[in-house]
């Protein structure tokens, strides 16, 4: 993915030349460390978050800095720790609940969907649930069907939850910090294939608003909306499309709920064509919502139907030759884009 680095480092307004480069994983750790230092009510709980520094080694050092009172190794009890998160959040804390694999979020559904998402509303605005649930998404680690899914659409569906899915180290840090400070339950999906991805992250303090899309590459002929690691797929496709004279704009919504509908619609109005890429299952996925937003908002500007590419509607298979077929690739995006612009 390093070939795409130039695509990501794009905006001189955000990134200074020669700026410090850190990995996505380091950016997450920096965000959590800074917020824990800034606010004593922030703590993190999850399986292997403390001694092991998380299964992806993202949290190494956190235990030493903040101690076992605030960096808590839990039993393998996803629903239980999510419930603890809700209860602690209602009573004055800002918990970060760590769910190792996004697939395991199915075990916390009641606590997130029926409890966290509804508590503020059902209490007539009296109770607040300022908690973060951080988890992962993404296939291609040869981990098979129960450790590879991208289930962000399930949570994006639920009023009362916010859902963030950063693509770059810069976005990861800024969104994580905002998620921790937000007074609502926020689910943040980190693509486990991105943890080693490097990118510019300023040393100065910053946060990114939840609900603001980012133009990862400007273009005129086609809008490609892409989430999380699909941003890199989109950027690679955009490079290839440029060589055949198609100028693609890559928009990263960064959060699916709230969704920056204006950014999506405005880009589609400008380019008159839209293609959406996401690693969640295509059926009933966030791609459908994005497509609907664009179709509604930019209908009279469109020269072609909105196209979407999600993960294949099959459980993620183990064998590499099959797994690779299930996720969107730059080649397929290029083909689809050419057809769209033809």
What are 323's two structure tokens? Answer: 């797994």
Q: How far is the CB of 120 from other proteins (least distance, A)?
A: 5
CA distances to 118, 169, 181, 238 from 210, in Å: 19, 16, 11, 26
Among 125, 205, 300, 321, binds other proteins (CB under 8 A): 125
Sites for other proteins among residues 49-78 (CB under 8 A): 69-70, 74-75, 77
Radius of gyration of the chain (CA): 19
Q: How far is the CB of 128 from other proteins (least distance, A)?
A: 5
Task: Confirm or reject binding of residue 43 to other proteins (CB under 8 A).
Answer: yes
> CB under 8 A: which stretch of 89-97, 141-149, 221-229, 243-251 binds other proteins?
89-97
Q: How far is the CB of 200 from other proteins (least distance, A)?
A: 31
- CA–CA separation, 338 and 302 (whole Å): 16
**Catalytically annotated residue among 15, 120, 147, 152:** 147
Among 90, 265, 306, 330, binds other proteins (CB under 8 A): 90
Among 95, 166, 199, 288, binds other proteins (CB under 8 A): 95
Among 3, 11, 65, 123, binds other proteins (CB under 8 A): 123
- Give the three-state DSSP class for 173: helix
> CB under 8 A: which stretch of 108-116, 228-236, 264-272, 287-295 binds other proteins?
108-116
> CB under 8 A: which stretch of 111-119, 229-237, 238-246, 284-292 binds other proteins?
111-119
User: Exposed, middle or buried by CB within 10 Å (0-12, 13-18, 19+), for 203?
Assistant: exposed
Q: How many CB atoms lie within 10 A of CB 152?
A: 27
Choice between 25 and 95, CB closer to other proteins: 95
> CB under 8 A: which stretch of 13-21, 157-165, 281-289, 297-305 binds other proteins?
157-165
What are 8's two structure tokens? Answer: 């990501």
Among 36, 49, 82, 194, binds other proteins (CB under 8 A): 82
Phi, psi of 247 (to 5 degrees): -95, 110
> CB under 8 A: which stretch of 98-106, 118-126, 295-303, 306-314 binds other proteins?
118-126
Task: Confirm or reject binding of residue 232 to other proteins (CB under 8 A).
Answer: no
Task: Confirm or reject binding of residue 179 to other proteins (CB under 8 A).
Answer: no
Among 29, 84, 133, 334, binds other proteins (CB under 8 A): 84
Phi, psi of 117 (to 5 degrees): -70, -25
Q: Which residues share a beta bridge with 215?
A: 251
Phi, psi of 5 (to 5 degrees): -55, -40
Among 121, 206, 299, 318, binds other proteins (CB under 8 A): 121
Would you call 157 a catalytic residue per the annotation?
Answer: no
Fill in the DSSP letter of residue 41. Answer: T
- CA–CA separation, 207 and 341 (whole Å): 37
Phi, psi of 317 (to 5 degrees): -80, 160
Choice between 43 and 56, CB closer to other proteins: 43
- Plot region of 261 (φ>0 → left; ψ -120 to 50 → alpha; else → beta): alpha
User: Exposed, middle or buried by CB within 10 Å (0-12, 13-18, 19+), for 50?
Assistant: buried
Q: Which residues contact 56 (CB under 8 A, 6 or more apart)?
A: 25, 136, 192, 195
Question: Which residue numbers are catalytic?
Answer: 147
Residues near other proteins (CB under 8 A) are 41, 43, 45, 69-70, 74-75, 77, 79-93, 95, 110-111, 114-115, 119-130, 159-160, 162, 183-184
């Amino acid at each position: 993915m390093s070939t795409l680095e130039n695509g990501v480092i794009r905006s001189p307004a955000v990134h200074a030349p020669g700026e410090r480069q850190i990995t996505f994983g380091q950016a997450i750790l920096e965000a959590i460390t800074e917020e824990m230092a800034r606010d004593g009510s922030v703590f993190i709980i999850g399986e292997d978050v403390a001694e092991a520094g998380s299964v992806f080694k993202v949290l190494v050092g956190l235990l030493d800095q903040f101690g076992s009172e605030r960096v808590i190794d839990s039993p393998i009890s996803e629903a239980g720790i999510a419930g603890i998160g809700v209860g602690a959040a209602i009573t004055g804390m800002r918990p970060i609940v760590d769910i190792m694999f996004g697939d395991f979020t199915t075990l916390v559904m009641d606590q997130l969907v029926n409890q966290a998402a509804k508590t503020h509303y059902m209490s007539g605005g009296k109770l607040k649930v300022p908690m973060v649930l951080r988890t992962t998404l993404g296939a291609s680690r040869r981990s098979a069907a129960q450790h590879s899914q991208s289930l962000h659409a399930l949570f994006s569906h639920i009023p009362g939850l916010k859902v963030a899915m950063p693509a770059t180290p810069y976005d990861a840090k800024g969104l994580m910090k905002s998620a921790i400070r937000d007074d609502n339950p926020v689910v943040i999906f980190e693509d486990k294939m991105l943890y080693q991805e490097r990118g510019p992250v300023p040393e100065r303090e910053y946060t990114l608003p939840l609900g603001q899309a980012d133009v990862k590459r400007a273009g005129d002929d086609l809008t490609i909306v892409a989430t999380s690691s699909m941003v890199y797929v989109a950027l690679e496709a955009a490079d290839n499309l440029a060589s055949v004279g198609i100028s693609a704009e890559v928009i990263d919504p960064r959060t699916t709920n709230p969704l920056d509908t204006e950014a999506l619609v405005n880009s589609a109005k400008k380019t008159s064509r839209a293609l959406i890429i996401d690693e969640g299952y295509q059926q009933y996925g966030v791609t459908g919502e994005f497509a609907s937003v664009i179709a509604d908002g930019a209908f009279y500007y469109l020269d072609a139907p909105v196209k979407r590419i999600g993960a294949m509607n099959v459980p993620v298979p183990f064998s590499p030759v099959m797994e690779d077929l299930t996720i969107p690739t730059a080649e397929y995006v290029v083909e689809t884009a050419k057809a769209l612009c033809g």
